[in-house]
A and B are shown apart, each in its own frame.
Chain A
Amino acid sequence: MAYASVIGSSSVIRGNVRGETSLEILGRVEGDVGISGDLSLGPDAVVVGTISGARIVIGGSVQGDVTASEAIVITETGRVVGDLTAPRIGMSEGALVRGSVRSEGGAASGRSSSPRSAEVRAPAPPPVERAAPRAANHAAPVANHASAAKAPAKKAPPPPVIQAPRAGARARKRMLKR
């Protein structure tokens, strides 16, 4: 597959990439990528920003939302932290996705059956769940976050206790006014 444009493996772009063309990214882009043609991210590619294109094949890492007018395909080396939106979404075993997945018609297909087929295809998300256990390393930090979140929650109650007397004081003042 030949792409009209290529961003090489040693390349770093800090800024946006857009246009009416197909593009293969093998390097790093820190910015939004929006093209009307097909887009491919090689295994070593990194994109920090939103991505849009016609048919998007992700073999690298993406931190940002991905929207395709035709399809999104995440290969076994692909990693996405962000939401996926496309009429068709495919994920290989080994792909890592953290975000919401929405495979719906509308963008490209105007078939009346497309919403139904989208529902049928909806089970696509399971790979996400499968991916989650694999990310056991990530699970631990999440647990830490959860416990960290609980800790402040325990500390939180005191303020209302302090506020309560204030409310009482106000109430007393109101009572005095009356």
Chain B
Amino acid sequence: MAGNVVGAGLIVEGEFTTEEEVVIEGTVRGTLTTAESLSIGSDGVVEADLRALSVVLAGQVTGNITANSRVDIQAGGRLIGDVKAGRLTIADGASFRGNVDMDV
């Protein structure tokens, strides 16, 4: 069980900070910072800048993503924003518009 679940139908607006894992199936607007992994489900809608250890994206994100470890944009995932991460994967069927900054 994840530490944080923003379930379908829930809308969180503002500054969201946590040390635990986050699963988003609802809506998040503002900023989200977690020390653990972040998962945005296929119904998840995020209009926020995200900071996490790792990010798995299957829903929609408008905002910049910073991950200490990695970012995985899955098929059906949609990202408009920049990515700063050590590793990045973009699955076939994902859409992405933005810049990538990887540790080289």
Give the B-binding residues of A (Cβ under 8 A). Answer: 3-23, 27, 31, 35
- Rounded to whole angstroms, the CA-CA distance of A12 and B71 in the bound complex is 24
Q: Is B10 an interface residue (CB 8 A)?
A: yes
Contact in complex: A11, B9 (CB < 8 Å): no
- Rounded to whole angstroms, the CA-CA distance of A27 and B12 in the bound complex is 14
- Rounded to whole angstroms, the CA-CA distance of A74 and B17 in the bound complex is 27
- CB contacts (< 8 Å) of A18 on chain B: these are 10-11, 13
Q: How many residues of B contact A (CB 8 A)?
A: 24
- A4 touches which of B2, B9, B14 (Cβ 8 Å): B9
Which one, B18-26, B58-66, B73-81, B83-91, is touching chain A? Answer: B18-26
Contact in complex: B9, A21 (CB < 8 Å): yes
Q: Quick one: closest A residue to B27, CB to CB?
A: A19
The SS class assigned to the A binding surface is: loop
Contact in complex: B8, A21 (CB < 8 Å): yes
Give the A-binding residues of B (Cβ under 8 A). Answer: 1-21, 26-27, 30
- Rounded to whole angstroms, the CA-CA distance of A105 and B10 in the bound complex is 27
- B7 touches which of A8, A11, A13, A21 (Cβ 8 Å): A21
- CB contacts (< 8 Å) of A17 on chain B: these are 10-13
Contact in complex: B20, A19 (CB < 8 Å): no
Contact in complex: B16, A5 (CB < 8 Å): no
A6-B5, A7-B4, A8-B4 known; A13-B14 Cβ under 8 A = yes
